[in-house]
Structure 1
């Protein structure tokens, strides 16, 4: 699973039939320790996340199985909204 921040919405009036009615969000990977941001990608929103929220994203075959089964074109799905992260500070090595 990946920790990410929701940074935007996607509207698609035409999409694969199994995606009808699904909310699509743009998420950006964040490093829980440094809070640095990384790559962005699209994820189906399963939990009602909003822009600016920190979320947990499942990817790959686990994402497909979480919503529609193995025949869905989903590669990433938001499965949780983070309330708090307790992360020890990074150690200088």
Structure 2
């Protein structure tokens, strides 16, 4: 099984990059520049990959279509 890796970085509520970039396994076919939802915890990442003991911590599990702010 081949998996695509992406470099992801947290954003503030205003969309400004913050924190350190990390590498995540992409299971939703996100693209460069997409805002994504990331699971950054071993057990949830393993469940997203259906690999109970996989050596993965961070997984992209969704692509954000729109952000609404009040």
Q: TM-score, structure 1 length as denominator?
A: 0.67
Report what 2:69 is aligned to: 87
Report what 1:22 is aligned to: 3
* Structure 1: 4+ residue segments shifted above 3 A: none
Report what 1:12 is aligned to: none
Please tell me whether Structure 1 or Structure 2 has the larger radius of gyration of its CA atoms.
Answer: 1
Report what 2:37 is aligned to: 56
Secondary structure in 2 matching 1:73: coil
- Which consecutive unaligned segments of at least 5 residues does structure 1 have? 1-19, 89-93
Q: TM-score, structure 2 length as denominator?
A: 0.87
- Which consecutive unaligned segments of at least 5 residues does structure 2 have? none
Q: Within 5 A, what are the aligned runs for 1:66-85?
A: 66-85=48-67
Q: After superposition, what is the alpha-carbon deviation per residue over 1:53-91, rounded to whole angstroms, capped at 9, x for unaligned?
A: 100001112011110322101101111111101122xxx
Secondary structure in 2 matching 1:44: strand
Over the aligned positions, Cα root-mean-square deviation in angstroms equals 1.2
